[in-house]
Amino acid sequence: MGKRLKTSLPAVGLWSMELRGAANPDVRDAATELDERGFRALWVPGLDGGGAVDDIGHLLDAAPHSTIALGVLAIWGQDPVALGDRLAALDAAHGPRAVFGFGVSNAHSAAQAGQEYGRPVESMSRWLDALDAAPRPVPVERRILGALGPKMADLAADRTAGWHPFLVTPGYTATQRERVGAQPLVAPHLAVVLDEDPDRARAAARAGIGMFLGFPTYRANLVRLGFTDDDLIPGGSDRLIDALVAWGDLDAVATRIQEHLDAGADHVALHVLRPDDPGRPALPLPLPQWRELATLLPNFSTTH
């Protein structure tokens, strides 16, 4: 379980909100450039699910050497049969390069879809049952979960290739790897700010990920990691931001990537957060930062 996916992912990839909307030619051009610069895994969020699989198709077409991962799609309102059919169609058109990630999101997301959130692990388990029962199910080695806590991580290890945790430290990675063994994929998201000024970098981090610190699932996991109410203030304490976000120069980012890999991560998905620059308008895509990060790729083996 998980072997094929682990060996198809490089040590480092990119996670990007900006790569959604891939019908846009500028987005597809960016994906092509990233592919040419050596990024072999591109991650996009599921958001509300609308158009997510269409975007995967556009990115597979634009980045012919890359795995394209959906990290992650909330299960509420999703049709397991349709998703299995869509993956089969993507495979026929592009080869088996897509990975579907699934998550339970939150009770509000379930209610919006007219469904009951219930116990998250039980709800996800039932949904995976439906996925397995589809005429063309999403194969075990081509699906992952958005998991944090040990019960959801165990479900991911048992029934998918592994999991894609968000807002975690290398210590989390080490603990989970020791707990689940070598086989399941562990592919953490890592926010990155390429700015050496502490105030600007932390401000960019808070603008990019601070809102998530109020979500119960993330708060509970951060408490498990040893953070306290003093850290879980709006936007997060400096200590928390410094632990979750790789900020500074390229060497600082490379060090944090290596810490996750040394802790047992198979793959690290880098998410660029940009500091405000009042003197210049923000570009729609963080291409300068992506190009800088591409220079780090030779430092890491193709697979970990």
User: So what's the pLDDT on residue 2?
Assistant: 46
Three-state SS for 1?
A: coil
Classify residue 263: in a domain, yes or no: yes
Sign of the alpha-carbon torsion through 116, 233, 187, 50 = positive
pLDDT in tens, 241-300: 999 999 999 999 999 999 999 999 999 999 999 987 655 556 789 999 999 999 999 999
What integer pLDDT is reported at residue 201 of this predicted model?
97
Establish if 42 belongs to a structural domain: yes
pLDDT in tens, 95-116: 999 999 999 998 988 999 899 9
Q: Is residue 191's pLDDT more than 80?
A: yes
Q: What is the DSSP string of 109-167?
A: HHHHTT----SHHHHHHHHHHHHHHSSSPPPGGGEEE---SHHHHHHHHHHSSEE--SS
Cα–Cα distance between 225 and 254 in angstroms, integer? 22
Cis peptide before 72 (omega within 30 of 0): yes
pLDDT of residue 1: 43
Token couple for 236: 């997060």
Q: What is the mean pLDDT of residues 179-199?
A: 96
The answer as to whether 129 is a domain residue is yes
Q: Read off the CATH number of the domain in which 124 is found.
A: 3.20.20.30
Q: What domain count does the chain have? A: 1
Whether residue 279 lies inside any domain: the answer is: yes
pTM more than 0.75: yes
Question: Alpha-carbon distance 79 to 76, whole Å?
Answer: 9
Domain holding 78, by residue range, is 3-299
Q: Is residue 304 situated within a structural domain?
A: no
pLDDT for 44-53, tens place per residue?
A: 999 777 799 9
